[in-house]
Amino acid sequence: MAPEQTAREPFFSTKSHERLSGASMHQPLRLRCDEAALAANYRSLQTRAGAQAGAAIKANAYGLGAAGAARALWNEGCRDFFVSTYWEAAELAFLPTGSISVLHGIGPTDEPLPGVRPVLISVEQIARWKSRGGPAQPCDVMIDTGMNRLGITREEIGALDGLTIHTLHSHLACADEEHPLNAAQLSRFRAASDSIPAQRYSLANSAGIFLGRDYAFDLVRPGLALYGGIPRSEARSTIKPVLSLEAQVVQVRRVRSGESVGYNATFVAPSDMSVAIINVGYADGYRRHFSSLGKATFGGAELPVIGRVSMDLVALDAGVASEIGEGDWVTLDFDLERSAALTGQSQYELLTGLGRRYQRIWS
């Protein structure tokens, strides 16, 4: 006879993390987010635009943490927050009603969320919103002025009849460079704003703000520059860095002359040296491109990255920091423009690649 079935404890109880996480558990990797710098960037972008500024907080506020970023921006007067999907909007339910817009609009399986406006991007979505949201419910609309990514085309504008449009948007394809499409998109958006009734009109992202006040309309939608990214050279003098990356030393070891360090033995010690192994890797968005190129600082001393960046670990030449030891914290050079040039990644990729293993500290 088969033994009586008993309810089994799962191998890992779902409570195990709760049980294991006490005050003694700490994360050996930190992202320090400077609230005052974020607030200053928000203010200078708004001043530059001469219009109200909202904030793109999609993708977990570009890796900084959407909740912390939204709170700081709200305190600074920001009242418009942009996410990509309803899933992201649902995670930000703590934000006051009426302040979230969903840039990808309402998808086939999305249910309207109270106080959240979809940015309707197609004729299909308009029909969906009229039946699910009700045409009297305020929505936003994205029109295409030349990017050909999302949005209602000029030929489809008739479909907007009967909607209550809160904010009419379009998006610039080339705002970070000098390109004839900028002026073309501006004039198409101007024409659309004359013929499509809405409470507000919005065209510019971070880079667009630096194209001039013509591009600002009623509301600008920066993301990158809020978080310290430099979308155009004009931004360099006003945008402040917001985040700094700090990793803890796991071990300091002596490596003898002629021995190699890390995967594929790409670094060979030219003489006896001290090597600090730190708790960060490409799984944390510290890209493999930083291999032998990145730098960290410890108490004013500069420690170059040596050898390959691993998934969870990086080796530093600790030669100049003789007193460094296990448990010390180093700050990684993650200057966005410099890191983008060094790694060939965009500033957007560097920011949004920051993973979930950071303790995000707002102060």
Binding stretches for ligand PLP (CB under 6 A) = 56, 58, 103, 171, 205-207, 221-224, 231
Cα separation, 300 vs 45, whole angstroms: 32
Residue 56 or 277: the one with the smaller Cβ distance to ligand PLP is 56
Query: CB of 303: closest distance to ligand PLP in angstroms?
Result: 31
Which residues have a Cβ under 8 Å from the Cβ of 345 and sit 6 or more positions away? 287, 289, 339, 353
Pick 223 or 294: Cβ nearer ligand PLP: 223
358 is catalytic: no
Contacts of 112 (CB under 8 A, 6+ apart): 106, 118, 129, 132, 133, 137
86 vs 267, beta carbon nearer ligand PLP: 86
What lies within 8 Å, CB to CB, of 254 at 6+ separation is 272, 273, 274, 275
**Whose Cβ is closer to ligand PLP: residue 175's or residue 330's?**
175
What one-letter code names the amino acid at 78?
C
Host H or E run for residue 37: helix 35-49
**CB 39 within 8 Å of CB 75:** yes
Three-state secondary-structure class, residue 50: coil
Q: What are the Cα distances from residue 260, in Å, to 52, 210, 284?
A: 55, 48, 24
> Closest distance between ligand PLP and the C-beta of residue 68, in Å?
17
Please, how many CA atoms are within 13 Å of residue 43, restricted to the half-sphere of its CB? 10
Beta strand pairing call for 116-120 and 100-102: parallel
From the list 130, 201, 227, 263, the catalytic residue is 263
Q: List the end-to-end C-alpha distance of the chain, in Å, as a whole number.
A: 64
CB of 221 to ligand PLP, least distance (A): 4
239/314 with CB nearer ligand PLP: 239
Residue 149, annotated as binding a ligand: yes
By beta-carbon proximity to ligand PLP, the closer residue of 216 and 247 is 216
Q: Which residue is nearest to ligand PLP (CB)?
A: 223
Is residue 260 a contact partner of residue 251, using CB atoms and an 8 Å limit?
Answer: no
Rounded to whole angstroms, the Cα distance separating 26 from 289 reads: 28
| 240 in catalytic set | no
What residues have CB less than 8 Å from 136, skipping those under 6 apart? 164
Q: How far apart are CB 223 and ligand PLP at their closest, in Å?
A: 3
Active-site residue (options: 58, 62, 215, 295): 58
132 is in an annotated binding site: no
How far is Cα 186 from Cα 244, in angstroms, rounded to an integer? 36
Q: How far is the CB of 61 from ligand PLP (least distance, A)?
A: 11
Residue 306 beta carbon to ligand PLP: minimum distance, rounded to whole angstroms: 34
Q: Which residues are annotated as a binding site for substrate?
A: 149, 311
Q: Which residues are annotated as a binding site?
A: 149, 311
Q: Catalytic amino acids?
A: 58, 263
